[in-house]
């Protein structure tokens, strides 16, 4: 059974630091939820400093780097999708927040929907989760969850507009 990462592990390599969500993935229970909460909190810190296009460029770079972070960290832990690896929650949820109305109600809905789709893994997320055991697969299943979240939010917006 893969070991549970420690603070020492988190700081041992830059890839571990990011893959473990700057420490948010070390939460003893529900690390994916803590990673998503970390994404929500940090989004507010940097969103004001970038245009939407600049932020999309940054998120693309963070997504691509995340594939490498997760590969390195998953190999070191012995599990390509260990629960403590939460960069795959963080970057897709940043994307969701970029496209979500800037109100607490919409962001709470986005959070709940993203966690729902991340946990239930509707197709093709389930395919990536079960068959693509590397950084790409780990990142891809959460990007699919982000897509389902955005689609659901768009439908809610149409219904309640």
| Cα separation, 24 vs 7, whole angstroms | 11
Closest CA to 79 of 154, 159, 157, 20: 20
Closest CA to 87 of 7, 16, 158: 16
Helix (H, G, I), strand (E, B) or coil at 17: helix
pTM for the full predicted model: 0.94
Q: pLDDT tens-digit profile of 29-70?
A: 999 999 999 999 999 899 989 999 999 999 999 999 999 999
pLDDT at 152 over 90: yes
pLDDT at 143 over 80: yes
- Which H or E element spans position 81? none
| Cα separation, 150 vs 152, whole angstroms | 5
> In the predicted model, what is the mean pLDDT of residues 93-99?
98
Q: Which tokens belong to 87?
A: 């960069």
Q: pLDDT tens-digit profile of 1-19?
A: 467 888 888 889 999 999 9
**Cβ(139)–Cβ(93) under 8 Å?**
no
What integer pLDDT is reported at residue 2 of this predicted model?
64
What integer pLDDT is reported at residue 161 of this predicted model?
73
| Cα separation, 149 vs 36, whole angstroms | 13
| Cα separation, 91 vs 34, whole angstroms | 13
Mean pLDDT of the chain: 94
């Amino acid at each position: 059974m893969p070991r549970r990462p420690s603070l020492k592990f988190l700081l041992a390599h830059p890839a571990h630091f990011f893959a473990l969500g700057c420490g948010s993935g070390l939460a003893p229970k529900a690390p994916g939820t803590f990673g998503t909460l970390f994404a929500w909190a940090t989004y507010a810190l940097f969103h004001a400093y970038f245009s939407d296009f600049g932020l999309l460029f940054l998120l693309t770079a963070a997504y691509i780097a995340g594939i490498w972070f997760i590969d390195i960290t998953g190999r070191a832990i012995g599990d390509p999708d260990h629960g403590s690896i939460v960069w795959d929650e963080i970057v897709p949820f940043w994307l969701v927040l970029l496209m979500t109305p800037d109100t607490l109600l919409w962001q709470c809905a986005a959070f709940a929907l993203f966690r729902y789709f991340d946990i239930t893994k509707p197709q093709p997320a389930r395919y990536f989760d079960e068959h693509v055991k590397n950084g790409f697969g780990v990142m891809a299943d959460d990007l699919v969850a982000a897509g389902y979240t955005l689609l659901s939010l768009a439908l809610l917006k149409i219904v309640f507009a």
